Amino acid sequence: MEYETLLEKAYEKLPKIENHIDRFKIPIAETIVQGNQTIIKNFSDIAEILRREPSHILKFLTKELATPAGIDGKRAILQAKIPQKMIQQKLEAYVTDYVFCRECKRPDTKLMKEGRILFLKCEACGAKSSVKAIK
């Protein structure tokens, strides 16, 4: 058999690659303001979709939004009036920094701690890169 024929057969047997943009949507934060507090109603759903610990996401948001916050069941309560658009922008920044792989740009990653260093390990391409610790 010719090389080109073998190559075509091999390509036909490869699985079709799904575009990660089509299958992964950054969740929309559903917020309400009560007095001086902003409540993210679907916070646990967001954490589940992103496959991250709610405490890690909340720590990022409190640092970026410069406001104290806490988790109450499935909700996150921020101790300030914050527009939904700003929360959404910070959530998108979190996804860029702590969810998408630096190499293949897929969301199939997990956070791993080795010693004192936090790594983003991609389950799709195997890449491993360090990420900033949230202080």
> Domain residue spans in the chain?
27-99, 104-135
For the four alpha carbons of 12, 15, 18 and 19, in that order, the dihedral sign comes to negative
Mean pLDDT calculated for residue range 114-131: 90
Residue 133 has what pLDDT? 85
Output the pTM of the full model.
0.80
CA atoms of 20 and 28, how far apart (whole Å): 18
Of residues 5 and 24, the one with the higher pLDDT is: 5
**Phi, psi values for residue 133, rounded to 5°:** -80, 145
* Angle at CA of residue 85, ends 84 and 91, nearest 5°: 90
Tokens of residue 134, six digits = 């949230």
CATH topology of domain 27-99: Alpha-Beta Plaits (3.30.70)
Residue 134 has what pLDDT? 85
Report the percent of the chain where pLDDT is more than 70: 93
Strand extents, DSSP E, the chain: 31-34, 37-40, 69-72, 75-78, 109-114, 117-122, 128-131
